[in-house]
Chains A and B, each alone.
Chain A
Amino acid sequence: MSGAIDWLLLAEFSLVGLLSGGVLALIALGFVLVYKGTRVINFALGEFMMVGAYLFWTANVFLALPWWAALALTLAGVAALGALVERFVLRPLAGQPVISIVMATIGLGAVLHGLAEAVWGGANLSLPELLPRKPLLLGEILLPGQVLWSFALAVALIAAFTAYFRWSKDGVSMRAAASDPVTAYAMGIDVRRTQRLTWMFAGVTGAVAGIIVASMTSLSPSLGTVALGVLAVVILGGLDSIAGAIVAGLIVGLLESLTVAFVGGQARDLVPYLVVLVILMVRPYGLFGTRDIERL
């Protein structure tokens, strides 16, 4: 990059980055949903993604079902998984210190990772390309089709979830149970049911994100490592803010893409973590998160 900045390159990488931020935002939504609903950071989200993608592969490629049937089966599968996890891991740990819950989700991730490797093997599998590849030309800027469509899909899903949270009866009771479980109980809300629903939704978002990521790259047990980087996105946006997750997803996507363009490929993985370190020093509750007020 000697001399003048290549504006066209800058614009192209910025757009691609912003668009690929959509998937990041979708994964971030998986973290935010669980945190809002149950005050837990789900370190096993990456493994949920991976399991979702593997289930989809099994249904679509191995059993040769059409994609909509495979998708329905996958979503039912991960929703069941989420419900099981809530019942047998998280519910017994209610009220335990943060470290117990963090470690429980990490342990859960290890179990899922090991099981997936035992069932499907460690080799790379490939999903059929679900999203059209045809690129979009904006003047001289070329946008890859997969990135564009994954962005559109992510936006649609995020919008759907936001609407659900805001207007549906379940969404309202989930928000109520999250902000004050005791009062929610007193008002006749079945808090256990809302928490189960929360985990099922988290599984579903994770699985969809996993399928998108796997269809764009490839499918292996280590697919889930993407999610740890997304944690940075979540922290940047604020752990309990859906809007924050979207904005932060776009910002991190943009930064990653620009880093690849102007610094080098290896530095890319570092970007989210540097962002998170800076954010935690400057504004620990993120861009849009609620500030915790502590009392004795």
Chain B
Amino acid sequence: MRIGDFHASYRHDEALFDTRAQRVWLGLLLAALAAFPFVGGSYLTYLACLLGIHLIAAAGLNVMTGYTGLISLGHAAFMGVGCYAVAVAERAGIPFFLALPLAGAASAAIGLVVGIPSLRIKGLYFAVATLAAQFVLGFVFREWESVTGGVRGANVPAASLFGFELAGDRRVYFLIAPLAVLMLLGARNLFRTRVGRAFIAIRDRDISAEVLGISLFRYKLAAFAIGSFYAGVAGGLWGYFFRVATPELFGLPLSVFYLAAIIVGGLGSILGTILGATFMTLIPEFLRALVGWAEAFGLEQAGVYLAPLRQVVFGLLIVGFLVFEPHGLAEMWRRTRRFFHLWPFRT
């Protein structure tokens, strides 16, 4: 059993990671992340890059939806904005370390416009407004050919630093992984500040928050801008990773995927974002492996059922978590930890 952790100084009280064990594990994790692409094979490195992008995007959505209570069905479209912004910026010769923040900013600017109705409408109505934004932006991606390349899409050149090209999964990994760590830390830190606390107050009861002096308009827009900024950066990284931006990549299914990830992980929890995004990224890979085995054992038809199987499992996961574990994987993790902390006194 672990004994209590007493905060003896203000610095200790304010620390982001407050126990020694946490800091040690975090250090080990960072070391493992740095070594990962050299130890894991190319497939695992690819998955890690994909996961990094998903983590950033899901964290942004959790800031909006999980912490502030603004349901967004248009997150993928904001990623698309980021991705196309990177494509355009690279065409203009802007290096990646400026292009990525620009992508975030472009996405945040559009997020501000979409967020404006949030002052008058909320809940279901707002969800439908973001759904509309998703389709309108998708239409723009398809039809504004001079910028987006239409249905065929736009190519994104490799990110390069002083002539050193970040091409190939392993090199891009060292662009994605540090950014993912940084942005997750940023999201975690946000909720210790006035702004983050205001978001939570708005989620819990917006009218009460306004009575307490929190400007709903300003903070709802801020939440939307931050969330879309994350989406924009994730979209930019997506561009550098896959090297192409096409409209159908950033459709409604991807938006729903991120919502599913934060629900499965846990709304309003950064740990939940990480667990949920990881889980939802790995599930399709697991299913593919499963179907591969089934084929190896003589079920030749199994391949046909991969896509439907994926959808069914995806839907069942969403419904199942909502019905049986509404606080998601983060809550399961907390429960497991508590069990071991209190063992053997309380089981």
Interface residues of B in 176-218 (CB under 8 A from A): 205, 207-208, 211
Among A5-13, A102-110, A153-161, A191-199, which stretch is in contact with chain B?
A102-110
Contact A114 B310, CB 8 Å, known A107-B260, A235-B125: yes
- In addition to A111-B316, A277-B133, A281-B120, 10 A-B residue pairs with Cβ atoms within 8 Å of each other are A99-B71, A99-B263, A102-B71, A102-B127, A103-B259, A107-B316, A107-B319, A235-B128, A276-B129, A280-B128
B65 to chain A, nearest CB (A): 6
Q: How far is the CA of A104 from the CA of B264 in the complex (A)?
A: 12
Are B208 and A296 in contact, with the CB atoms below 8 A?
Answer: yes
Are A104 and B308 in contact, with the CB atoms below 8 A?
Answer: no
Q: Is the interface of A mostly helix, strand, loop or mixed?
A: helix
Hey, what's the 0/1 contact readout for B290-325 against A, CB within 8 Å counting as 1? Answer: 000000000000000101111111111111001100
Q: How far is the CA of A296 from the CA of B135 in the complex (A)?
A: 35
Are A281 and B117 in contact, with the CB atoms below 8 A?
Answer: yes
Interface residues of B in 92-143 (CB under 8 A from A): 116-117, 120-121, 123-125, 127-129, 131-133, 135-136, 139, 142-143
B256 on the A face (CB < 8 A): yes
Are A109 and B207 in contact, with the CB atoms below 8 A?
Answer: no
A255 to chain B, nearest CB (A): 14
List residues of chain A with CB under 8 Å of any chain B CB: 41, 88-89, 92-93, 96-100, 102-104, 106-118, 122, 228, 231-232, 235, 239, 266-267, 269-270, 273-274, 276-277, 280-281, 284, 294, 296
Question: Smallest CB-CB separation from B316: which chain A residue?
Answer: A111
**Contacts of B129 on A, CB cut-off 8 Å?**
276-277, 280
Question: Smallest CB-CB separation from B255: which chain A residue?
Answer: A106
**Contacts of A235 on B, CB cut-off 8 Å?**
125, 128
Are A108 and B322 in contact, with the CB atoms below 8 A?
Answer: no
Which listed residue, B127, B142, B310, B323, touches A98 by the CB 8 Å rule?
B127
Contact A270 B308, CB 8 Å, known A100-B326, A281-B117: no
A277 to chain B, nearest CB (A): 5
Are B323 and A92 in contact, with the CB atoms below 8 A?
Answer: yes
**Contacts of A103 on B, CB cut-off 8 Å?**
259-260, 263, 318, 322
Contact A270 B315, CB 8 Å, known A96-B322, A99-B267, A102-B71: no
Leading 4 A-B pairs by shortest Cβ distance: A107-B318, A114-B311, A110-B315, A111-B315
Are A273 and B132 in contact, with the CB atoms below 8 A?
Answer: yes
| 19 A-B contacts (beta carbon < 8 Å) | A93-B323, A96-B322, A99-B65, A99-B69, A103-B318, A107-B316, A110-B256, A110-B312, A110-B315, A114-B308, A114-B315, A228-B131, A239-B124, A266-B142, A277-B132, A280-B120, A280-B128, A281-B117, A284-B125
Q: Which of A113, A231, A276 has the most CB of B within 10 A?
A: A276
Q: How far is the CA of A281 from the CA of B309 in the complex (A)?
A: 40
Q: How far is the CA of A45 from the CA of B263 in the complex (A)?
A: 22
Are B127 and A232 in contact, with the CB atoms below 8 A?
Answer: no
B145 to chain A, nearest CB (A): 12
Are B308 and A107 in contact, with the CB atoms below 8 A?
Answer: no
**Contacts of B311 on A, CB cut-off 8 Å?**
110-111, 113-114, 117
Q: Which of B120, B132, B133 has the most CB of A within 10 A?
A: B132
Which listed residue, B136, B307, B310, B314, touches A270 by the CB 8 Å rule?
B136
Q: How far is the CA of A116 from the CA of B127 in the complex (A)?
A: 27
Which listed residue, A96, A114, A270, touches B135 by the CB 8 Å rule?
A270
Are B318 and A41 in contact, with the CB atoms below 8 A?
Answer: no
Interface residues of B in 41-83 (CB under 8 A from A): 65, 69, 71
Q: How far is the CA of A231 from the CA of B315 in the complex (A)?
A: 21
**Contacts of A280 on B, CB cut-off 8 Å?**
117, 120-121, 125, 128-129, 132
Categorize the interface residue count of chain B: 35 or more
Are A296 and B322 in contact, with the CB atoms below 8 A?
Answer: no
Q: How far is the CA of A106 from the CA of B313 in the complex (A)?
A: 13
Are A231 and B310 in contact, with the CB atoms below 8 A?
Answer: no
Are A110 and B318 in contact, with the CB atoms below 8 A?
Answer: yes
Contact A96 B326, CB 8 Å, known A107-B318, A270-B139: yes
Interface residues of B in 250-306 (CB under 8 A from A): 252, 256, 259-260, 263, 267, 305
Are A114 and B136 in contact, with the CB atoms below 8 A?
Answer: no
Contact A110 B128, CB 8 Å, known A92-B323, A270-B135: no
Q: How far is the CA of A100 from the CA of B322 in the complex (A)?
A: 6
**Contacts of B207 on A, CB cut-off 8 Å?**
294, 296
A220 to chain B, nearest CB (A): 13
B246 to chain A, nearest CB (A): 16
Contact A117 B308, CB 8 Å, known A99-B65, A99-B267, A106-B318: yes
**Contacts of B142 on A, CB cut-off 8 Å?**
266
Q: How far is the CA of A280 from the CA of B128 in the complex (A)?
A: 9
Q: How far is the CA of A232 from the CA of B310 in the complex (A)?
A: 29
**Contacts of B205 on A, CB cut-off 8 Å?**
296
Are B256 and A106 in contact, with the CB atoms below 8 A?
Answer: yes
Are B136 and A107 in contact, with the CB atoms below 8 A?
Answer: no
Are A115 and B312 in contact, with the CB atoms below 8 A?
Answer: yes
A219 to chain B, nearest CB (A): 16
B168 to chain A, nearest CB (A): 34
